[in-house]
Amino acid sequence: MLNKSEKLVSLLGGQPVIPVLKIADAKQAVPLARALARGGLPAIEITLRTADALEAIRRVAGEVEEAIVGAGTILDPAQYDAAATAGSRFIVSPGITKELLKASADSDVPFLPGAITPGEIMAGRQAGLTFLKFFPAEQAGGAAFLKALASPIADVKFCPTGGVSAVNARSYLDLPNVICVGGSWVAPDDLVKAGDWGRIEELAREAAGLRKPA
């Protein structure tokens, strides 16, 4: 049986970019998820930064069979539980706390907490998490900082998020300790608001082409 970090890798490791989405109108969620999946990015993170976020997760989980929907910006156990109940298949947090680690231990839904310092990363590792979010990636030192962690903490892998774009994604994906990256550039707010699903599908296809080196 896979442990939770291995389960996360199986969910997210099949694509180089995880779209990080802020959905203001739940009606946009299903066509957006379908466009991203058609472009080759079925795994998506819907952040709990809007009032419609949980409803958006519910709709994608219930109506888009090809999607792997997760919840982001989870700050406390109540949000963890609410997101899991809504149908999230993975949970993402900007940081790591004892309370969230306990919520993760009590849940079947795997947890991807953010960590940027060696101490935070080691705390996640000691809790049994060997796949972490590196956030905010660019502000915390970028690919060079993450590369420096690859040798001393070799068994921990990362999904860098925060300032990652089509321009710099490759610098992260080339690292041995990076599984995938998270980014919002594949579904910018203006295209989502306009319902330009065709252009979003194109951006997703371009991002899906950023495969990690063999």
Nearest to 32 by CA among 209, 208, 207, 199: 199
> One of 45, 66, 98, 193 is an active-site residue; which one?
45
Per DSSP, what are the bridge partners of residue 183? 19
d(CA 188, CA 205): 15
Residue-wise burial string across 68-106, b where 16 or more C-beta atoms lie within 10 A, e elsewhere: bbbbbbbeebebbbbbbebbbbbbbbbebeeebbebbee
Whether 45 is catalytic: yes
Distance CA 132, CA 155 (A): 11
**C-alpha separations of 22 from 25, 104, 116, 127 in Å:** 9, 23, 23, 29
Active-site choice (4, 22, 133, 157): 133
Find the angle CA(98)-CA(50)-CA(196) to the nearest 5 degrees.
Answer: 130
Paired residues of 93 in beta bridges:
113
Catalytically active residues are: 45, 133
